Amino acid sequence: MNYSSNFAEVGVVTQVILPDDIPSFPRMAGNMELGIAAVNQAGNESDITKISAYFDFTVPEAPKSLVVEDV
């Protein structure tokens, strides 16, 4: 991961819910590396803090073979 990686500016926040808060976040499953940096009001940017973890943001298949029973 480096500064040419895909990124999203999220504004002044202390929490981000993935993938809901970032519409462009990929809906995929697998190991991902995320990098987080802070930017102050003067535009100075911190070093990137990295985290690598397994995520699964895929949508499950709809239920099949449903049956309605008369009780």
16-40 pLDDT tens trace: 998 899 988 888 999 999 989 999 9
Window from 4-8, 41-45, 66-70 with minimum mean pLDDT? 4-8
- pTM of the predicted model, to two decimals? 0.63
Percent over 70 (pLDDT), the chain: 96
DSSP states along 32-58: EEEEE--B-TT--BPPPEEEEEEEE-P
